[in-house]
């Protein structure tokens, strides 16, 4: 026990003597969390759109104003011909062209079909899908209001059509009522930042000892391989937990993320997850000879974990073979757990299977790392 205590003292002294590492450990994660949470979003706001209004009626004007009032669309200009508006679409000045046909108001008031043409810049398929979804929702709401007005008018003049009943839907959004994308992204980004800290720092640890020559001094001591690995793992585990607490505090009080679940549950699972990530880093450190090699391998693995972890793309939308690969991706498990516990209030009953998977991976990686480390005595 005293041996591990001395090893921990040595590791903490090395960490805090390195003035260049401290900002990376404590300052960079906070900056990255604040920047990425706003940048990594699929929400669209103030999308420039052009209008070709062939009807020039009060109803068509109301529709255009409704588009602008949502805050999602910004009117770029009104044109007298479709060709002029589509030229702006070709130039990239607008993302949407709205064409309102002649007799739009008359047909709508008569209960007849009043088609509207939407031309969307679909170079970015994701953005195009959102623009179409937003526009369709706005037009559908507008159409329902006008249909209700027509029925009220028909009822007032005794038309039997006024006796028809409108079927309306009132959606209720659970877990994220305001559909705020930051609420969805922050837990996942926090997992990625903690993963990067744990993987990169532990991945370069043993390699750094080897490069500066202190590894040989440790090898001639009577410490065992297990004691050596624990001494290497624990300091960065503590730092990772501190960074997680800072990130959770920022998420709660800075981004107002709802903490519906147990903070204790999150911390326990995070502790297991950090052991897993750092064990992977230590394994990388045992198979590389320079910090540059360790960094390249760690970064390659981290990119794969992030892209297939469900942070930006839902796992369910991936091909079958990719979904199978995510079964061995620890980042995917922890992102899902964080979102379930924080946003849904899930407890052990809902996440224990995923936690057992993390425990199994962590135990296997730690065992491999200890076995891979070659302690030679000269």
Same domain, 74 and 222: no
Same domain, 34 and 51: no
User: Comparing C-alpha atoms, which of 28, 96, 107 is closest to residue 68?
Assistant: 96
Q: Is position 171 within any domain?
A: no
Distance CA 366, CA 227 (A): 12
For residues 147 and 114, give the distance between their C-alpha atoms in angstroms, rounded to a whole number: 12
What's phi and psi for 53, nearest 5 deg? Answer: -100, 100
Residues 127 and 260 in one domain: no
* CA atoms within 13 A of residue 259's CA, in its CB half-sphere: 15
The answer to whether residues 257 and 338 belong to one domain is: yes
Can you give the pLDDT at residue 110? 78
Average pLDDT of the chain? 82
Give the confidence band of 154 by pLDDT, cuts at 50, 70, 90.
low
Check if the beta carbon of residue 257 is closer than 8 Å to that of residue 187: yes
Could you tell me if 285 and 335 lie in one domain? yes
Q: What pLDDT, on a 0 to 100 scale, did the predictor assign at position 164?
A: 47
Neighbours of 5 (CB within 10 A): 10
Please return the burial class of 353, using the count of CB atoms within 10 Å of its CB with bins 0-12, 13-18 and 19+: exposed
Measured torsion, CA atoms of residues 135, 136, 140, 141, in degrees rounded to the nearest 10: -40
144 neighbors 168 (Cβ within 8 angstroms): yes
In the three-class reduction of DSSP (H, G, I as helix; E, B as strand; rest coil), residue 73 is classed as: strand
Q: What are phi and psi of 99, to 5 degrees?
A: -110, 120
pLDDT (tens digit per residue) in 59-118: 899 999 999 998 889 999 999 999 999 899 888 889 999 999 898 888 888 777 788 889
- 217 and 350 part of one domain: yes
Q: What is the pLDDT of residue 163?
A: 47
Contact 52, 100 (CB under 8 A): yes
Residue 172 lies in a domain: no
End-to-end CA distance of the chain: 25
**158: confidence class by pLDDT, cuts 50, 70, 90:** low
Residue 363 banded pLDDT, cuts 50, 70, 90: very high
Predicted pLDDT of residue 378: 39
> Which pLDDT belongs to residue 263?
92
Q: Are residues 282 and 211 in the same domain?
A: yes
Q: Is residue 234 part of a domain?
A: yes
In Å, how far are 96, 189, 195 from 244, measured between CA atoms?
Answer: 42, 11, 10
- The token pair at 102 is 């002649």
Task: State residue 226's pLDDT score.
Answer: 75
Q: Centre a 10 Å sphere on the Cβ of residue 165 and count the other Cβ atoms it contains.
A: 6
If asked whether residues 148 and 217 sit together in one domain, one would say no
d(CA 64, CA 56): 11
Does the residue 191 lie in any domain?
A: yes
223 found inside a domain: yes
Residues 51 and 195 both lie in one domain: no
Cα→Cα distances 286→188, 208, 373, 374, Å: 29, 11, 6, 8
Q: Say if residue 267's pLDDT is above 90.
A: yes
Strand partners, 97: 50, 119
pLDDT band at 157 (very low <50, low <70, confident <90, very high): low
* 203 in Cβ contact with 282 (< 8 Å): yes
Question: pLDDT for 2-56, tens place per residue?
Answer: 666 766 776 677 667 766 666 767 777 778 777 777 666 666 777 899 999 999 9
How many percent of the chain have pLDDT more than 90?
24
Give the pLDDT confidence of 217-229 residue by residue, as tens digits: 666 666 777 777 7
Residues spanned by the domain of 220: 2-40+178-372
15 lies in the same domain as 75: no
Question: How many alpha carbons fall within 13 Å on the CB side of residue 257?
Answer: 30
Residues 100 and 239 in one domain: no
Tell me the C-alpha distance between 21 and 99, whole Å. 57
Domain end, chosen from 140, 163, 186, is at 163
Overall number of domains in the chain: 2
Residue 161 has pLDDT above 50, yes or no: no
**Average pLDDT over every residue of 320-348:** 90
Q: pTM above 0.85? A: no
Segment 170-184 shows an average pLDDT of: 73
* Strands annotated E in 21-161: 47-53, 73-79, 96-100, 117-120
Report the share of the chain in percent with pLDDT over 70.
81
As a whole number of angstroms, the distance between CA 73 and CA 55 comes to 21
Q: Which of 102, 137, 163 is the last residue of a domain?
A: 163
Residue 120, domain CATH: 3.40.1710.10
Confidence of residue 329 (pLDDT cuts 50, 70, 90): very high
Which residue, 163, 196, 225, sits at the end of a domain?
A: 163
What pLDDT score was predicted for residue 249?
Answer: 92
């Amino acid at each position: 026990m005293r041996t591990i205590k001395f090893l921990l003292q040595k590791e903490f002294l090395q960490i805090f003597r390195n003035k260049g590492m401290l900002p990376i450990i404590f300052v960079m994660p906070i900056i990255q969390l604040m920047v990425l949470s706003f940048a990594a979003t699929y929400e669209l706001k103030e999308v420039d759109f052009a209008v070709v209004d062939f009807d020039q009626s009060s109803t068509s004007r109301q529709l255009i104003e409704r588009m602008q009032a949502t805050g999602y669309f910004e009117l770029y200009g009104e044109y007298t011909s479709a060709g002029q508006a589509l030229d702006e679409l070709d130039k990239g000045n607008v993302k949407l062209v709205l064409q309102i046909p002649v007799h739009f108001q008359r047909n709508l008031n008569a209960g007849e079909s009043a088609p509207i043409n939407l031309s969307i810049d679909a170079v970015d398929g994701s953005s195009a899908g959102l623009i179409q979804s937003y526009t369709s929702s706005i037009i559908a709401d507008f159409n329902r209001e006008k249909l209700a007005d027509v029925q009220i008018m028909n009822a007032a003049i005794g038309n039997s059509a006024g006796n028809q009943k409108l079927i309306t839907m009132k959606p209720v959004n659970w877990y994220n009522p305001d559909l705020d994308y930051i609420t969805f992204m922050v837990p996942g980004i926090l997992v990625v930042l903690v993963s990067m800290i744990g993987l990169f720092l532990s991945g370069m640890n043993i390699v750094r000892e080897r490069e500066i020559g202190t590894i040989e001094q440790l090898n001639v001591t009577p410490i065992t391989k297990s004691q050596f690995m624990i001494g290497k793992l624990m300091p960065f585990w503590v730092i990772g937990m501190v960074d997680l607490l800072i990130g959770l505090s920022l998420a709660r009080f800075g981004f107002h993320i709802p903490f519906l679940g147990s903070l204790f549950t999150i911390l326990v699972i995070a502790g297991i997850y950090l052991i897993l990530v750092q064990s992977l880093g230590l394994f990388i450190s045992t198979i590389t000879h320079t910090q540059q090699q360790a960094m390249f391998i760690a970064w390659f693995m981290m990119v794969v974990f992030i892209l297939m972890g469900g942070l930006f793309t839902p796992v369910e939308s991936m091909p079958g073979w990719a979904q199978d690969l995510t079964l061995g991706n620890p980042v995917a498990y922890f992102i899902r757990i964080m979102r379930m516990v924080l946003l849904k209030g899930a407890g052990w009953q809902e996440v224990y299977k995923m936690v057992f998977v993390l425990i199994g991976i962590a135990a296997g990686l730690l065992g491999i790392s200890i076995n891979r480390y070659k302690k030679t005595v000269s």
